[in-house]
């Protein structure tokens, strides 16, 4: 039976045992989800986990393999991993290898496919950076550190120029929303980090990669209760982390088109200089915003950053990343990323890449009622949109995304990564506690030359 006709794909893993367990012998069937079958063989040279996998979406296949690895951890320690996946396609082999890379702390080899092994290492470097930034202590992963790290990395690339706007320049240029959000923090004060990449011979407008960088989110004066995940809010700079990792990985790979990195970053702290609920703030664009709730701060810093980047650099398109709303987790579950306003071509590439790399995306267009929901009676806009009537508690991710549309005219594709960037369920494939690295691998695939 040919591979195309087969209903079973086989993926073999060889996990070497630690020396003290090398005398174990025998074989045992392991329980794994769905209709998959798993057998663990123990011998004097290590362990071999054999999986027979029914045809599944790659995102489900990743889950099944990861559940088998978790079960394996209760029997033998996970050491060096040799991955044999000759009966599955290269994209699936790559994404499973990436998961195993993170599980085994980088001890994965693919002896029968060196090209995939090299690609795994390239993507893993970017995912490791993204995950490490999100997992880092917010007392050290501050706006100052983000700016320092971007500048330090860029020093090795003559075609990358970094600009960092500090409080005085932000005030002079009128980025008052960013200043309002970060006004109470001295440890992680407001910064706008900008990096231009212009490869030789490229003259077109840049693709802008924008990331929300709230290094810790207390909620501000409307302080978050414990039930609102305040103990995990170091992850609120996940947008900045994925934007920087994506930008740096593309530049390092020799991307042939101009890019612009845009990172508004600060801490949303409580203090004498914190923004007040009810405050009316004029944005960089000139539109006024009423601060209805100080915990809806991400859209504020992004609004100023988007408007400033468009006025200063005239990008062709914005890709925007933010842990913007808890609603993304509530509505779409722990593994999915809602994507707002992608045009047909961009959506097709993202969806195709997500299917290949095993990451789920949900696509939503612009709609008039979500735009109207952001209107205010005292100001042009308020930062807590509400639909009318019994629908008022819904559509938080979509309402917030439509707020951002008020500050740009160029095409905007916005990713609300709140659900996917953090391992809320504890069962994200390849991830332990904390950051998952999602959906970076799909974005790298979507932006790769065709």
- For residue 58, the domain's CATH number is 3.30.310
| 140 & 90 share domain | no
Specify whether 156 is located in the same domain as 233.
yes
pLDDT of residue 7: 41
Domain span at residue 385? 130-447
Q: Give the number of other CB atoms < 10 A from CB of residue 166.
A: 14
Q: Note if the bond before 177 is cis, omega within 30 degrees.
A: no
With left for phi above 0 and alpha for psi between -120 and 50, is residue 406 left, alpha or beta? Answer: alpha
Shared domain for 137 and 78, answered yes or no, is no
Quote the pLDDT of residue 18: 43
Let me know whether 242 and 138 are in one domain.
yes
What residues are labeled active site? Answer: 224, 299
DSSP secondary structure, 387-430, as one string: -SGGGTTS-HHHHHHHHHHTT-SS-EEEEE-TTTSB-SSS--TT
124 lies in some domain: no
Could you tell me if 407 and 333 lie in one domain? yes
Report if residue 125 sits inside a domain: no
Number of structural domains the chain divides into: 2
* pLDDT (0 to 100) of residue 78: 72
How much is the pTM?
A: 0.94
Block means of pLDDT (10 residues each) for the chain, 450 residues, are 40 52 62 83 74 86 90 71 78 93 90 94 98 98 98 98 98 98 98 98 96 98 93 97 98 97 98 98 98 98 98 98 96 94 98 97 97 97 92 89 98 98 95 96 94
| Residue 156: burial class (beta carbons within 10 Å; 0-12, 13-18, 19+) | exposed
CATH number at residue 169: 3.40.630.10
| Residue 339 shares a structural domain with residue 434 | yes
Within a domain: 147:
yes
**What's the Cα-to-Cα distance from 382 to each of 281, 333, 378, rounded to whole Å?**
10, 27, 9
Closest CA to 216 of 237, 190, 239, 201: 237
């Amino acid at each position: 039976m040919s591979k195309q006709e087969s209903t079973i794909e086989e993926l073999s893993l060889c996990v070497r045992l630690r020396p003290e367990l090398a005398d174990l012998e025998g074989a045992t069937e392991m329980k794994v989800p769905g209709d998959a079958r798993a057998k663990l063989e123990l011998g004097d040279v290590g362990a071999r986990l054999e999986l027979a996998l029914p045809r599944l979406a790659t995102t489900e296949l990743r889950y099944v393999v990861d559940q088998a690895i978790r079960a394996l951890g209760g029997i033998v320690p996970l050491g060096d991993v040799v991955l044999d996946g000759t009966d599955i396609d290269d994209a699936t082999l790559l994404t499973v290898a990436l998961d195993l890379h993170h599980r085994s702390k980088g001890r994965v080899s693919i002896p029968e496919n060196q090209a995939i092994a090299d690609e795994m290492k390239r993507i893993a470097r970017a995912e490791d950076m993204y995950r490490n930034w999100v997992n880092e202590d917010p007392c050290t992963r501050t706006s100052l550190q983000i700016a320092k790290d971007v500048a330090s990395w860029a020093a090795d690339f003559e075609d990358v120029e970094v600009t960092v706007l500090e409080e005085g320049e932000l005030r002079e240029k009128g980025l008052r929303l960013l200043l309002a959000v970060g006004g109470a923090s001295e440890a992680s004060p407001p910064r706008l980090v900008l990096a231009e990449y212009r490869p030789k011979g490229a003259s077109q407008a840049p693709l802008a990669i924008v990331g929300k960088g709230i290094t810790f989110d207390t909620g501000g004066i409307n302080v978050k209760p414990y039930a609102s995940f305040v103990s995990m809010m170091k992850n609120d700079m996940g947008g900045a982390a994925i934007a920087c990792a994506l930008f740096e990985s593309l530049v390092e790979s020799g991307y042939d088109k101009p890019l612009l990195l845009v990172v508004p970053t600060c801490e949303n702290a409580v203090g004498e200089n914190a923004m007040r609920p009810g405050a009316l703030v004029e944005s960089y664009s000139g539109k006024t915003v009423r601060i209805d709730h100080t915990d809806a701060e991400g859209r504020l810093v992004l609004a100023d950053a988007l408007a400033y980047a468009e006025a200063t650099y005239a990008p062709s398109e914005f890709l925007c990343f933010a842990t913007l709303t808890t609603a993304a987790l509530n509505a779409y579950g722990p593994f999915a990323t809602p994507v707002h306003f992608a045009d047909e071509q961009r959506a097709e590439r993202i969806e195709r890449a997500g299917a290949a790399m095993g990451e789920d995306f949900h696509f939503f267009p612009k709609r008039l009622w979500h735009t109207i929901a952001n209107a205010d009676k005292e100001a042009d806009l308020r930062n807590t949109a509400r639909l009318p009537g019994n629908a008022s508690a819904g559509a938080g991710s979509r309402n917030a995304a439509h707020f951002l549309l008020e500050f740009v005219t160029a095409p905007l594709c916005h990713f609300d990564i709140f659900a996917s960037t953090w391992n809320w369920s504890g069962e994200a494939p390849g991830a332990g506690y904390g950051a998952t690295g999602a959906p970076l691998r799909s974005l790298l695939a979507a932006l790769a030359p065709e």
